[in-house]
Structure 1
Amino acid sequence: MGVVTYDYENTSPVAPARLFKAFTVEAPKVWPTAAPNAVKSIEVEANPSSGSIVKINFVEGLPFQYMKHQIGGHDENNFSYSYDLIEGGPLGDKLEKISYENKFEAAADGGS
């Protein structure tokens, strides 16, 4: 088994608290509306907190039908969360999981 690390930084005019909320707690409502050409629905087992399973169903015509994530950590005070992609999507039959760590930080201009 190998490990690959990839870092990516992006900026946004949206405040960290609002982005964090849109990507976590409100994702089942926000993403099908914000990206209707990609996300058909999001199903959450319990609530989007540590240990929960989140299934993202994609619209027909995309390369993947769905992806399942298991939430690893969810810290509303620091606007950070982590999750593992455990089924579907780009995993195929070669990868066991893909782990993600996300943190939204304030920028000088009030965005993230």
Structure 2
Amino acid sequence: MGVTCFTQELACPNSPIRMFMALIQYSSTLIPKLLPQFIKSVEVIEGDAAAGNGSIEQVNFTRGSHFKYVEHIIDAELDKEKLVCKYTLTEGGPLGDKLASIAYGVRFEAASNGGCIYKITSEYTATGELQEKEEEIRSGKESAMGIYKVLEAYILGKPHAHI
């Protein structure tokens, strides 16, 4: 099995705790609300996604999407104090027959301007030799960044709302 890793850092005007809450704790309700044209629903299959560790979620896409669904498990590292989450895409979506899993690590750190830096690592584990085209990986990363940017704008527009 081949493994390929990528790392990204993005600056955000929102505080680290608000971004963590929106992207990790409340994503199952916020994402379908903010992106109904792409996300039909997010179902908790097992556990309590807001509590984290070991929970399994299924994201169901709308009819026009490239994928029907993706399923991911929140791994043992969901730390609300350190604002860190690790989750693994285990089924559906871009995995197909080429990828066994995609593991994501997300960390939110305070920035000097009152906003935050979110750091994302992604680890693609292939079922055989990794021959995933760089363009396909970049497209997947851009889709994820699109979700982050929508949530970022939503939070920025509601500075006093409890997220």
TM category, shorter: over 0.9
Paired with 2:38 and 2:115, the residues of 1 have a C-alpha distance of 26
How far is 1:59 from its partner?
1.1
Deviation per residue, 1:48-94 (Å, 9 max, x gap)? 11111110111111111110001112100011100110001100011
**Greater relative contact order (Cα 8 A, min sep 6): structure 1 or 2?**
2
Paired with 1:47 and 1:11, the residues of 2 have a C-alpha distance of 29
Corresponding residue for residue 102 of structure 2: 98
Structure 1 residues 32-43: aligned runs within 5 Å: 32-43=32-43
Corresponding residue for residue 47 of structure 1: 48
Paired with 2:2 and 2:47, the residues of 1 have a C-alpha distance of 32
TM-score, normalised by the number of residues in structure 2: 0.66
Structure 1 consecutive aligned stretches of length 4 or more whose deviation exceeds 2 Å:
none
Find out whether 1:61 has 2:64 as its counterpart.
yes
Unaligned runs of 5+ in 1: none
Q: How many residues of Structure 1 are paired with residues of Structure 2 in the alignment?
A: 112
More helix by share: 2
Which one-letter code corresponds to 1:23 in the other structure?
L
**Contact 2:22-2:30 within 8 A present in 1 as well:** yes
Corresponding residue for residue 3 of structure 2: 3
Paired with 2:41 and 2:90, the residues of 1 have a C-alpha distance of 18
Structure 2 residue matching 1:23: 3-state secondary structure: helix
1:87 to 88, 91, 111: 91
More strand by share: 2
Once superposed, what is the RMSD of the aligned Cα atoms?
A: 0.9
TM-score, normalised by the number of residues in structure 1: 0.95
Corresponding residue for residue 159 of structure 2: none
Structure 1 residues 8-23: aligned runs within 5 Å: 8-23=8-23
Rg (Cα) greater in structure: 2
**Contact 2:55-2:73 within 8 A present in 1 as well:** yes
Unaligned runs of 5+ in 2: 117-163
